[in-house]
Structure 1
Amino acid sequence: MPKAYFVTGTDTDAGKTLVSCGLLEKARQKGLTTAAVKPVSAGCEETPEGLRNGDALALQQVMTMEMPYEQVNPVAFLPPIAPHIAAQDAGRMITADRLAGICRGVLMKRADFTLLEGAGGWRVPLNPRETLADLARMLQLPVILVVGMKLGCLNHALLTAEAIRRDGLTIAGWVANSVTPDMARLVENTLTLEGELGAPCLGEVPYLDTATPAVAAEYLNLPV
């Protein structure tokens, strides 16, 4: 049966894309077909084909299903700022309903393993009334939480987990992703999260000098 998950993080640069690509690679190694969507990106480069986001391109490269870039990343903005501010500057409106429709189109392709990667953290605004959490709620997807392991991550992780559950969604698992090479008391912090988050740990990704999907996949397990 096809499985799909919404990937969120404790903050910007928590490592959502690295973990997502690692999980997609892990699924490919197990013989599963894979697909991914980055519904909204802010921070793109101008190319002859249009705006392109590095995270979305990374997802597109590692997944097995062929899809046009515009389906992988339907809403893209040039400046690396909050999406709702980028949308205001561009005179556009992002709605959770529109994004949900696009995501459902990808889910209907019925890849064995599909990931929808959010932008920033759980409560990133889309417009004055909605956040990316509303998209996850509309799709009713279980959530994979990527915790950027650094000072302050305990508070960020526990608050995010609380918000996810308050929104009526389940946490399928979480990943401890080291975003600095020398976090003090990394082991103790990880053990604290294992005891407090109430969800399975899908892996502990160390700080990687060469952060490729194949290397990340070595440290990850797929959700059950």
Structure 2
Amino acid sequence: MELPSSMSGKLLRRLFYIVVDQLAGHWAEGVRVWGDLPPANVRGYHELGLTPNISRLIEGGLWVERPWNRGGCDTRHGMKYLSTGTYDMSASVGFFEYVKEKYKENVRVAVFTTTPWAMRGYFYVPDYVVSLPPCYGPYYDDWMVWALFVRPYLEREENWDMIHFYMPINDIVSHCPSYQEHNPHPKSSKHAYLLHLDKLIGEIVRTLEALGHWSETVLVLASDHGYHLGCDVARRMGARSANW
């Protein structure tokens, strides 16, 4: 694997690699949770104009619609593929570690994630790593990690080359219903949190623009697996809508 680099060994593009946990890229045609609204997913919300910041990335970039997880719909399998590019669960070197070892002091690499994804074989890198507690920690809020760790790093390290930012909170916003008309806070429904995530994506892009990095940055937005929609308890009690 080779990356585009100059004669000096410096990478010609920066990489900002975002992984949002349990973010569905698309949904089966015809499934609705409320009126014309599909279950929370990137394609469906983009087509309805609900996520303008993500839509900007779709319209100006490359869109990969089909899933790659081979039915292993869990974080362990998804993160293995996203970090190494292989389905082999025994793979011991992730892409970020590989790049740092290859280009050494010529690249600045930073990872902002949670335990255990900073380990070797995932997003470990022998450089700058912020590894926060996992779900039983509990997870730090995505916006908090951005405000306290990622954005200050961007503002401080002008010559960064690669950043990985893992956003786990979407994974724990899985209670029913998927959509509700009134949402007191972003974590009150999957619908509300996807709109919230769109604002965070917009904040990241605007920060990269303000720092003069956007035109030289490849931003990747990915997910480890799809949305675990459905509540078996509600189904047993008679629910007939995908919203439950």
TM-score range, shorter chain: 0.3 to 0.5
Looking at secondary structure, tell me which structure has more strand per residue: 1
The two structures have a TM-score, normalised by structure 2, of: 0.33
Which structure would you say has the larger RCO, counting Cα contacts within 8 Å and 6 or more residues apart? 2
